[in-house]
């Protein structure tokens, strides 16, 4: 037994308010489980942004297409790490694949994940880059040539029939991909929403709220990455693209905010058994992360900022830099807001006792698997993976707007 862990529980004792069941003092799903839905949210959101181009034919955001696909892939690779790391027995994670219980939402993770990774993301990335990889390999030598050849599965066929098939496949995959992305993150919401023992989680709206906050976080993150990376790689930010993406973000935030508001009003109006302890929790332990960060900083202020650029259209549209600044601040705030959303769902759901008579406290560690450092590492890891992916499958041309898409064409061959 870890004496330090026991001591930390003793330290928590005086911080308990009211009565909690004696086994409830330890918060079992900590920072890692906050990180997990945040990451899968980014995956789903980034993918949905990508499908704007492919399915809904929004040409303005074409420069974000490959970037968002690669972002989704990079984050998806990290998602299971957070889950596995938090287990009491990480070395046994394979059990979930060997004896999955069909009644368990969590057991379905392996299958939803595998489906999304293999059948959707990898396929789409492959089809998008196939002709490019062939072209790159022609001009390259050594390792890169080998990598591109292998990744292209030694295909050299850039004939009309194959390219036509690429396009057809992409369309099908994206159409299958949208419900899959919904499934991936809606399912993460269902993991929480299906727990009838926990009134903070148990809500039919939770999967939908998760979905829309996922779209918000993914779109915002891709915009942020685009705005940072394009100047760094010597390109020019296409304001037409950013404006359009911000438009989508704006509506997504409004929908997300309304859904959460509906959920909130519904709870307060129904005012069931648990309302007392939940409102006490929101007003004390969650005040900072829920009211301040999630609602005020993460939603209302970004909404206000973006609306300003719309209301004072003339003024802002004359000055691209000012608009860029505003967008930049908005998408960063939104990232923090969505992370706080995840925090409030996961941690908030465990801070009140299921006896509805008291609150416990979450004390975040710094070191260790459940600590802050590891969480930051996990949050930084997708960026590293993304950098590697961009090295292998450079999206710069498209991001810099050098590729002029013709209809559904993905040029590069």
Determine which residue in the list 60, 85, 93, 243 makes contact with other proteins, applying CB under 8 A.
93
Alpha helices in 271-319 (DSSP H): 275-283, 301-311, 313-318
Which residues in 97-120 are b (16+ Cβ under 10 Å) and which e? Answer: eeeeeeeebeebbbebbebbbeeb
Residue 28 or 315 with smaller CB distance to other proteins: 28
Binds other proteins by CB under 8 A, chosen from 123, 135, 254, 332: 123
Q: Does 159 bind other proteins (CB under 8 A)?
A: yes
DSSP states of 81-142: HHHHHHSS-GGGTTHHHHS--TT-TTTTHHHHHHIIIIIIIIHHHHHHHHHHHHHHHHH--H
From the list 169, 300, 332, 392, which residue makes contact with other proteins (rule: CB under 8 A)? 169
The Cβ of residue 368 has, within 10 Å, a number of other Cβ atoms equal to 12
Q: 220 or 277: whose CB is closer to other proteins? A: 277
Residue 21 as a binder of other proteins (CB under 8 A): the answer is yes
Compare residues 27 and 52 and give the one whose CB is closer to other proteins.
Answer: 27
Query: Quick check: 343 and 297 in contact, CB under 8 A?
Result: no
Q: In this structure, how many other beta carbons lie within 10 angstroms of the beta carbon of residue 329?
A: 13
Q: In this chain, which of 25, 135, 255, 300 binds other proteins, going by CB under 8 A?
A: 25
Nearer to other proteins, 125 or 225 (CB): 125
Nearer CB in complex with other proteins: 212/352: 352
Number of residues that bind other proteins (CB under 8 A): 63
Give the CA angle between residues 37, 237, 390 to the nearest 5°: 55
Q: Which residues contact 301 (CB under 8 A, 6 or more apart)?
A: 330, 333
Give the dihedral sign, CA 92/96/99/105: positive
Of 170 and 290, nearer to other proteins (C-beta) is 170
Compute the Cα dihedral for 258, 260, 263, 269 and give only its sign: negative
Candidates 47-55, 141-149, 261-269, 351-359: pick the segment binding other proteins (CB under 8 A): 351-359
- Neighbouring residues of 262: CB distance < 8 A, sequence distance ≥ 6: 205
E strand or H helix at 53: helix 31-54
Q: Which of 354, 381, 400, 401 binds other proteins (CB under 8 A)?
A: 354
Does the footprint of other proteins cover residue 355 (CB under 8 A)? Answer: yes
Closest approach of Cβ 194 to other proteins, in Å? 8
Residue 11 CB, nearest approach to other proteins (Å): 12
* Closer Cβ to other proteins, 114 or 296, answer by number: 114
| Residue labelled with tokens 């999206």 | 395
> Which range, of 51-59, 84-92, 174-182, 209-217, touches other proteins by CB under 8 A?
84-92
Nearest approach, Cβ of 367 to other proteins (angstroms)? 18
CA–CA distance, 64 with 197 (Å, rounded to integer): 42
Q: Which two tokens stand for residue 244?
A: 């359009």
Residue number, 210 or 250, with CB nearest to other proteins: 210
> Which uninterrupted H or E stretch holds 229?
helix 205-232
Looking at 14, 88, 367, 407, which residue binds other proteins (CB under 8 A)? Answer: 88
Residues 197-236 that bind other proteins (CB under 8 A): 197-198
**Contact characters 95-114, other proteins, x per CB under 8 A:** xx-xxxx-xxxxx-x-----
Rank residues 26 and 402 by Cβ distance to other proteins and give the closer one. Answer: 26
Token pair recorded at residue 135: 């072209």
Q: Where does this chain bind other proteins (CB under 8 A)?
A: 1-2, 5-6, 9, 18-26, 28-29, 86-90, 92-93, 95-96, 98-101, 103-107, 109, 123, 126-127, 130, 153-155, 157, 159, 161-162, 164-166, 169, 191, 194-198, 349-350, 353-357
């Amino acid at each position: 037994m870890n004496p330090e862990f026991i001591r930390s529980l003793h330290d928590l004792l005086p911080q308990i308010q009211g009565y909690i069941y004696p086994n409830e003092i330890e918060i079992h799903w900590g920072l890692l489980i906050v990180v997990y839905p945040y990451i899968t949210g980014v995956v789903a959101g980034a993918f949905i942004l990508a499908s704007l181009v492919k399915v809904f034919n929004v040409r303005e955001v074409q420069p974000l297409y490959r970037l968002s696909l690669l972002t989704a892939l990079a984050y998806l690779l990290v998602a299971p790490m957070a889950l596995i790391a938090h287990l009491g027995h990480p070395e046994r994670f394979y059990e979930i694949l060997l004896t999955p219980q069909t009644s368990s939402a969590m057991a379905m993770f392996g299958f939803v994940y595998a489906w999304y990774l293999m059948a959707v993301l990898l396929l789409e990335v492959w089809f998008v880059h196939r002709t490019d990889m062939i072209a790159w390999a022609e001009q390259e030598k050594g390792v890169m040539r080998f990598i591109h050849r292998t990744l292209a599965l030694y295909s050299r066929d850039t004939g009309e029939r194959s390219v036509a098939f690429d396009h057809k496949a992409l369309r099908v995959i994206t159409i299958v991909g949208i419900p899959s992305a919904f499934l991936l993150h809606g399912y993460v919401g269902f993991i929480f929403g299906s727990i009838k023992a926990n009134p903070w989680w148990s809500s039919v709206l939770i999967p939908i709220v998760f979905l829309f906050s996922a779209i918000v976080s993914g779109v915002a993150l891709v915009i942020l990455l685009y705005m940072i990376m394009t100047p760094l790689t010597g390109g020019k930010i296409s304001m037409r693209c950013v404006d359009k993406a911000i438009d989508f973000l704006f509506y997504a935030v409004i929908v997300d905010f309304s859904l959460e508001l509906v959920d909130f009003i519904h709870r307060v109006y129904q005012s069931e058994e648990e309302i007392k302890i939940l409102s006490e929790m929101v007003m004390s332990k969650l005040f900072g992360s829920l009211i301040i960060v999630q609602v005020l900083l993460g939603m209302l202020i970004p909404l206000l900022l973006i609306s300003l650029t719309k209301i004072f259209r003339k003024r802002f549209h004359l000055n691209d830099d000012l608009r860029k600044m505003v967008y930049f601040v908005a998408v960063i705030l939104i990232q923090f807001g969505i992370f706080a959303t995840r925090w409030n769902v996961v941690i908030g759901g465990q801070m009140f006792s299921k006896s509805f008579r008291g609150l416990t406290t979450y004390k975040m560690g710094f070191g260790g698997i459940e600590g802050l450092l590891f969480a930051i590492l996990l949050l930084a890891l997708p960026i590293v993976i993304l950098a590697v992916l961009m090295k292998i499958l450079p999206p710069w041309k498209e991001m810099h707007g050098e590729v002029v898409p013709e209809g559904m064409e993905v040029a590069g061959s």
